Structure 1
Amino acid sequence: MRTVTVVGASLSGLYAARELRAQGFDGRLVVVGDEPHPPYDRPPLSKDFLTGRAHEADLALADTEELDGLDARWLLGVRARGLDARGRTVLLDDGRTVPTDGVVVATGAAARHLAGEPRAGVHTLRTLDDARALRADLTREPRRVVVVGGGFVGAETASSCAALGHDVTVVEAAAVPLVPQLGAELAAVCASLHRRAGVGLLTGVSVAALRGTTAAVTGVDLTDGRTLPADVVIAGIGVVPNTAWLAGSPLLLNDGVLCDDGCVSTLPQVVAVGDVARVGGTRAEHWTSATSQPRAAIRNLLAGRTVESARSVPYFWSDQYGSRIQFAGRRRDGDTVRIAEGTIADVVPEGSGFLARFERAGRTTAVLAVDRPRPFMRARRELAAEAAGIPATAGGPRQGAS
């Protein structure tokens, strides 16, 4: 392989570029990114950046010296529009083509938008430019904010808006937000964080329409007939993997690029990582997946076949209303929930949190913690050790490697 092209210049794309050099690839490296910005960290966008505690410089994932050290050609502010039938040429929307021997698909995902005509004051929060626009809207006098979607991004954004002194209401279509991730019982506990902070939470209802003009949104009509006045509306209703540019290529697509357990697509010279990759049947929209998958993906790309699996114990975290929620493992419906430390009641009145274990057939399948970081890290290490076949009493700190 003389040339490798990484399509996507965010977290997983940067990690793929790093792995290429770390694993000895000394050929031509091209990185294509549709945003004009160098790689930056997305999780702070809904938290510290939105509240002003972090600035744009704090978001950088690498400094100029490191980027120069990768000896890559960075094509930023340009979109990939196609991959030729053999997977050997990346087509760009400015008419250029990039001949290549290998491709890393790291194009991530795009935020879903609310239906209807665009209106000023209606936002999504996925990119740095999204966050800039939303932050500008929130620096005015206290505003009436409606967050549509009670998932992690929606909840974090609502938390930040509340911290800035705005009147916030969260609208969630499900009876309880985050049930697929956390199960009904513990999802209800985490939903209580909204109420603890004085944020309204309306569940079991959806948005019927937005009110206002193209110049300003004024309200949100709900499917139950109510109308919420609003100066700012934020859609946190999920994402769509960025695979449209791959239509017509030989790659199999189904809510992402279909890959084996090693991130290898249906073409051995094309691998996929991060939010766009469906690895072994699962697409994980988490920071840790974007940083852990490139190691195996690049090894397999350079080998020309799958020699290493990229599957690891899933892990994610979320900061909301001064509390940290952490989850690791694979929960399934029917798992038994056991509170291992603290109590559920500790979350709302005390803020001291709890550690819960999901169990099946006498084994822990997942763990959830609210404001219990140290016990959680121990439990996460145990899960990782069990997944790797390491006895729980062996290995010490090495069990935490993931």
Structure 2
Amino acid sequence: MESWPTPTVPVLPGAGSIPLLYDTATGEKRATDVSRGGQLYVCGITPYDATHLGHASTYLAFDTLGRVWRDAGVEVTYAQNTTDVDDPLLERAAATDVDWRELAASQTDLFRSDMTHLAIIPPDHYVAVTDVVGDIADAVARLLDTGFAYRVATPDSDAGDDVYFDVAAATASTTWHLGIESRLDDETMMRFFSERGGDPDREGKRDPLDPLLWRSARDGEPSWESAVGDGRPGWHIECTVIALQHLSLPISVNGGGSDLVFPHHEMSAGHGTALTGDPFATHYAHAGMVAYQGEKMSKSLGNLVKVSELVHEGVDPRAIRLALLGHHYRSDWEWFDDDVMTAIARLTHWIEWATTETTSAEEQAEPSALLVELREALADDLDTPAAVAAVERFVAAEQTPTSIDVDAVQTLLGIDLRA
């Protein structure tokens, strides 16, 4: 599937460091493993509404990681899905009397536009779930054959069996187990599982926390023919299969919002290990949640600040990006309506500063003092607030920037001050 255009990323003198990154699985900051290149999988959107600032903050976090890796000389391979068939999408399509395919296509196009506006470097592999349903079904069949999955009869006698992942079997026979990535207690797992798409009370399951792998065909729902019966994929297995197709295990970083820690990333990892025998990832990284009007920004609550609407109102997308960079990716924070005005004013000052840039052969050959500061800040768990503060100091001191300074802001922070 087509992604979006790649923004210009100037090459900087010297090389940055391999970043330390907080790992959810260990609770510590540690160096990312790029011994086989920087292999990154970030969970994509379910395209039933436009990109809000919570989404943008997450994709900006992992865009920053990719930029820091590339600046350190790492070859990056980035894969991302889009969940273009799932219950929330089908429910929104029914509620608005729009064909679910049209809804998914239109919102995916809008997401591409938003990512282009925000200068997010696109994934190398941008994959729609509907393009790999057959591959997902084959993976489910393998899990059935190896005893890591089982069938559960549906209440509708005309429907086929649903297929579930056997958590106990995977725990007994692989290196994976519940809590290996999330470090959550049983009570919290059960609560999150129920709140985040799970069905702990489903009759016939061997364990309340066993997740759905394959949903058999129901009347009025899209379905595909497959070796495991007509139906469609469960949520977690789709990311596992797409990651396995385009990356090699263990991947360097499995990323997404903090609301994906459990069950999504935990179960995706379990599926991957059950299918291959290998750990799914060496690092699990998660972006914090963004609130608005006192509540977590979410489609269900409707308290959204959308990238597309801000751009439509005339806000420079660089200011939106700059506002997001002012918050550390792991923090939970709240957006206020006047934040955009603060970011616009900051961007204006930065652009004025950049117009005074100078260039010389000596300046082009060595990292500038600002570049060194930016690299140090971002190598420490992607500390974008510290990086923004470093630029602010140089701007406030009215230090004439070199072309390397202006390039560094574009390459590492993704803000083109010459545009």
TM value normalised by structure 2: 0.25
Q: More strand by proportion, 1 or 2?
A: 1
Task: Using CA pairs under 8 Å that are at least 6 residues apart, name the structure with larger relative contact order, 1 or 2.
Answer: 2
